[in-house]
Amino acid sequence: MNRFITSFQSVTQSQSIEEVILNLLLAWILGMLVVGVYRLTNRHRPSNTSFLLTLVILAMVVAMVMMVIGNSIARAFSLVGALSIIRFRTVVKDNRDIAYVFFALATGMAAGVGAYTLAIFGSGTILLVLLIMDFVRFGQSPPGRFLLRFQYMTMDTDPRTFMPVFDELLQDFRRVSVKTIRMGQFVEHTYLIRLKKGVIEEVLITRLSALEGMERVTILSQDDEVEE
């Protein structure tokens, strides 16, 4: 029992109970702000509740880890060895999600070491920049621009048959790739297109699907295609 008390005092001697609670609360608040901005800037995508909860937990756990480490190099190496046995098998498909994970880590580290100015103003600056970039639609495709992908049988469909549909419904288009699939029985085309004003995606899909030999007509936003 005495050994436990001595060990506890050695770990917490650099922080009072008030500091521990304050650091964890600050990490929680910053984690919630990170989640709020993440949901706002990704409002057009389905939200993953598990990922959002992970960001908040991660910020608080990292803050606690930083308090445990303190100024002890031995504790740092011990924690690295202990945490190295953990294996994460979840594949993160979106690079933005990885950036937000690192953001939550950084906020937790700053809160854990008591760098309140850095934690608050550093995180606030990054969150503000993210909101501004979302407001100006930084890096997003222009409205009405999509990736069109379709397949047709090589023996039944003349490539020129879908050009009148393009001329009628598309403002402009550019072929990105063309390749044979299914042992050469089908040809797959990918086009970068812009729909004419007032034309919706369903109309283009319906018109192309009605052509003889046409299969699997798909329209994707450019952002969705990059994440696949």
Q: Provide the residue ranges of all domains of the chain, joining segments of one domain with +.
A: 2-135, 145-227
pLDDT digits (tens, 9 = 90+) for 103-134: 998 998 888 888 889 899 999 999 999 999 88
pLDDT tens string 12-37 = 456 788 888 899 999 999 999 999 99
CB 203 within 8 A of CB 132: no
DSSP 18-47: HHHHHHHHHHHHHHHHHHHHHHHHTTTS--
- The structure tokens 């490539």 sit at 159
Structure pTM? 0.62
Most confident of 26-30, 61-65, 143-147, 211-215: 26-30
Q: Which residue has the tokens 């609670």?
A: 21
Three-state DSSP class for residue 194? strand
> Is the CATH code 3.30.70.260 the one for domain 145-227?
yes
- Residue 210 has which token pair? 């009605």
The DSSP H or E segment spanning 74 is helix 73-83
Q: 66-88 burial by CB neighbour count: b if 16+ within 10 A, else e?
A: bbbbbeeeeeeeeeeeeeeeeee
pLDDT per residue over 88-111, tens digit each?
Answer: 555 666 778 888 888 998 998 888
